[in-house]
Amino acid sequence: MKIIFIPIVVVFFDQLSKILVKNYFIHQELFYTNINILGHFLRFTFIENPGIAFGIDTSSYHFYVTIATILAIFFIFYQLIISINNNTLDIYPLAFILGGAIGNCIDRILVFIPSFNYNGVVDFIDIGINNYRWYIFNIADVSISIGLFIFIYNFFMNKTNKSIEKNV
């Protein structure tokens, strides 16, 4: 059950980073400002995304997106338990995806609590070269991407290994 520490660590660092960045940008009144971390390649740009991935606006459906996210978390957790019991290759990717999903879901839920002053999922990691930028994201998004990368890697490696075994 050590695997459960992956989502816990992801949620902890995701929420900690979001709180620190949001508080810093708000208290310093740095709205619509970039802070260069590694030149222009990596910078922090605080935004609250009311939509979903890649800035797709779903703000009119926030309640339904939040419910769908919660249901997805339960499904991923269920799949993780099955993978742990069957000792499959899906354990690590599911753990990373679960941590990221929970991290972003917390922000979605906080939108419904006015005293927290959330307008969407907090994003702040901004990478690119000069004006050629990727979408702004957060640690939860990185965790989900790592999980998906491991899934794809395992899929192709498993497929390649079966093909090699078949030819031997």
Residue labelled with tokens 């090699």: 164
Based on the residue annotation, tell me whether 123 is a catalytic residue of this protein. Answer: yes
Catalytic residue, from 14, 90, 123, 126: name it: 123
Based on the residue annotation, tell me whether 107 is a catalytic residue of this protein. Answer: no
Catalytic residue, from 14, 107, 126, 141: name it: 141
DSSP states of 104-150:
HHHHHHHTT-GGG---SEEEEEEEEETTEEPPPB-HHHHHHHHHHHH
Determine the Cα–Cα distance for residues 96 and 8; give it in Å rounded to an integer: 10
E-state strands within the chain: 34-38, 42-49, 121-129, 132-133
Q: List, by residue number, the catalytic residues.
A: 123, 141
